[in-house]
Amino acid sequence: MMNIKRVISTIEKNYILSNLKKGERIDGRDLWQYRDWNVKSNVIASAEGSAEVSLGKTKVITGVKYDVGTPFPDLPNEGVCTFMAELLPLASPLFERGPPNEQAIELARVVDRGIRHADCVQTKKLCIKEKKAVYIIFVDIYVISYSGNLIDASGISSLAALISSKIPEGKWENDEVVWTGKYLTGKTLVNELPIVSTYGKIGDIIFSDPSLPEELVCDGRISISVTEDKITSIQKSGFATFSVEEVEMLGKKSMEFGKKTRKDLNLWQYKL
C-alpha cells in the first residue's frame, strides 16, 4: 500500500466499512462498479504521443518521448520501453516535491509489468540496426489529480499515449542513423491491450476501483493485468491476504472488466 501520511478518523473508517458490508460505497457505487472514464489523446504537442485520462476525479497525463541508443548485449535486436511516474504536489496535499519516492516507483513498476509481460510494445520493431542502434521509448506518467486508484488510470493513459504515438523512422546508413521522413506509429508498435484492474480489501470485503477514502482505510489491494485471453501480471500490496479462491475469482472479474473496458473506451480509435 502507499505510505500515505494522513490520519483518517475512526468514525469515517467505520462509516466506509458499514456501507461496504451492505454492498454499497460512500459515493453510491456497488462493490464492483467503476467510476466514469474519460480519455483524450494528443494533449501534449511536444510529445511523440500523449493522453489524458480521468477515472472519476483521478486524472493522469502520460507522454511518450524517444531517444536512440545501443541495445542491451543480451537483446541485440530489441529496443527498450521504460516507464516513469511522478506524483505532482498539485495533485494532492499528500504528495511532496522531490525525486520519485516509493509510491511513484511502485506505480511505474506495476504499470510497466502489466504492459511488458503482455508483449504489448513490439520491441523488435524498435530496432534500427542489430547491435548498433535501437529506439529507447520513455513513457512518462504525471498524476494531475489524485482521488484513488492511480494504477488503473495510469495503465489506460499509458496505452492511449502509446497508441497515439508517432515516432520518426530511422535507418542505418554509413555507420549512422539517417531519418527517412516516415514514422513508426502506435498501429505498428502496439500489439496487445493489457487492461489492469485494481481491487481493495477491508477485512473480508473486496471491491473494485477504490476511491481515495477507501484506499486510506484498506488493509491491502491487488492489481491484475489481463489481455483478451490471459493474465499477464498480479501485484499485491499491503498486509491483507487473498486466498487462492479469491485470486481466481478476481482473475475472472479482471477478464470481464478488461473486455468491457476495451469495448467501452475503444482505445484503437486514437491510433494515427
- pLDDT (tens digit, 9 = 90+) per residue, 21-49? 999 998 999 999 999 999 999 999 999 99
Closest by CA to 141, choosing from 169, 182, 110, is 110
- Look at the chain and report how many structural domains it folds into: 1
- Given pLDDT bands bounded at 50, 70 and 90, which one contains residue 155? very high
- pLDDT (tens digit, 9 = 90+) per residue, 78-87? 999 999 999 9
- pLDDT (tens digit, 9 = 90+) per residue, 179-225? 999 999 999 999 999 999 999 999 899 999 999 999 988 899 999 99
CATH number reported for the structural domain that contains residue 218 in this entry:
3.30.230.70
Count of other CB atoms within 10 angstroms of residue 169: 16
- In a domain? residue 155: yes
- In a domain? residue 5: no
- In a domain? residue 3: no
Which domain covers residue 169, as residue numbers? Answer: 24-270
- Given pLDDT bands bounded at 50, 70 and 90, which one contains residue 97? confident
- In a domain? residue 48: yes
- In a domain? residue 19: no
- In a domain? residue 15: no
pLDDT of residue 8: 62
pLDDT of residue 91: 86
- In a domain? residue 2: no
